[in-house]
Amino acid sequence: MDFCKPAHIYLIFSLLGSIIYILTTISYKTLSEEARFIFWQFIAIIVWTCILNILCWAGFSIISWILVAIPLIALTIIIVAEISVLHNKFIEEKNKEQRTKEKLIPNF
User: What integer pLDDT is reported at residue 95 of this predicted model?
Assistant: 85
Residue 76 C-beta-side C-alpha neighbours within 13 Å: 5
The residue among 18, 71, 65, 66 whose CA lies nearest residue 46 is: 18
The number of domains in the chain is 1
What is the rounded (10 degree) CA torsion for 16, 21, 26, 30? -120
Q: What is the pLDDT along the chain (108 residues), one digit of tens a residue?
A: 688 999 999 999 999 988 888 888 776 656 677 778 888 899 999 999 999 999 999 999 999 999 999 988 998 999 999 999 999 998 988 888 887 777 766 665
Domain range holding 70?
5-104
**Rounded to two decimals, what is the model's pTM?**
0.67
Terminus-to-terminus CA distance in the chain, angstroms? 78
